């Protein structure tokens, strides 16, 4: 179960829906517009965010996946990709859902399935961009959760995805 916003502490690592992995540097009182509120100061690789504590429960961010829980992600990537819907609007809807859901498991499944679709028949421009974005998101969290550098995570991810494609080829 995800932590409630009031349970986050300075030093906790989180995954922001739009900005990726970051660390809660502090919890501070601020009064923009004259209304005092409590904010998380979240530092990501690219920016510093101020997130109102009372708005953080809306799925804006979640805890970083534990190294143990990350094992399920690796298993997903190694499985054969699932065939995606033929209708490009259905595929786009799935991509949009995964982008907004901020679920690491859904992200891993979609990366795997887009990887497979690209190998089988190619991707359109929107799908290629989604694959790049989601791969970056996955690798960013992988690197932080597993305490490995991103190049090592990328190498391992490609190896696992290729194993999944090989299983499809062997079954054919």
Q: What is the pLDDT of residue 2?
A: 45
In which band, very low, low, confident or very high, does the pLDDT at 3 lie, cut at 50, 70 and 90? Answer: very low
Q: What is the pLDDT of residue 72?
A: 95
Question: Which CATH number is 47's domain given?
Answer: 2.40.10.170
Residues 101 and 33 occupy one common structural domain: no
Higher-scoring residue by pLDDT: 55, 85: 85
Q: What is the pLDDT of residue 55?
A: 81
Q: What is the pLDDT of residue 42?
A: 95
pLDDT higher than 80, residue 5: no
Q: Which residues span the domain enclosing 92?
A: 70-171
Question: Which CATH number is 86's domain given?
Answer: 1.20.58.1290
- When the pLDDT of each residue in the chain is averaged and rounded to a whole number, the result is 91
Residues 80 and 111 occupy one common structural domain: yes
* Beta-carbon contacts of residue 40 (< 8 Å; ≥ 6 apart): 5, 8, 24, 26, 27, 49, 50, 51, 52, 53, 56
List the Cα angle 96/46/135 in 5-degree steps. 40
Distance CA 117, CA 112 (A): 9
Q: List, for residues 34-72, the tens digit of each pLDDT value.
A: 889 999 999 998 899 998 888 877 778 899 999 888 999
Mean pLDDT within 10-29: 93
- Residue ending a domain, among 63, 79, 113, is 63
Residues 138 and 157 occupy one common structural domain: yes
Domain count for the chain: 2
pLDDT higher than 50, residue 1: no
Residues 41 and 105 occupy one common structural domain: no
Distance CA 165, CA 80 (A): 6
Q: Let me know: does 111 contact 123? Beta carbons within 8 Å.
A: no
Residues 81 and 111 occupy one common structural domain: yes
Residues 155 and 78 occupy one common structural domain: yes
């Amino acid at each position: 179960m995800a932590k409630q916003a009031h349970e986050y502490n300075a030093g906790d690592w989180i995954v922001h829906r739009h900005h990726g992995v970051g660390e809660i540097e502090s919890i501070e009182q601020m009064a923009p517009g004259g209304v005092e509120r409590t904010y998380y100061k979240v530092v990501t690789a690219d920016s510093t965010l101020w997130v109102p504590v009372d708005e953080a429960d809306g799925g804006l961010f979640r805890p970083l996946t534990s190294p143990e829980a990350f094992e399920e992600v690796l298993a997903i990537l190694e499985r054969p990709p699932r065939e995606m819907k033929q209708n490009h609007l259905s595929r786009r809807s799935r991509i949009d859902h995964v982008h907004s859901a901020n679920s690491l498991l859904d992200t891993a499944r979609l990366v795997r399935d887009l990887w497979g679709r690209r190998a089988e028949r190619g991707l359109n421009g929107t799908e290629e961009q989604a694959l790049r974005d989601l791969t970056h998101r996955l690798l960013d969290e992988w690197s932080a959760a597993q305490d490995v550098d991103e190049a090592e995570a990328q190498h391992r991810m490609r190896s696992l995805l290729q194993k999944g494609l090989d299983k499809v080829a062997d079954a054919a």
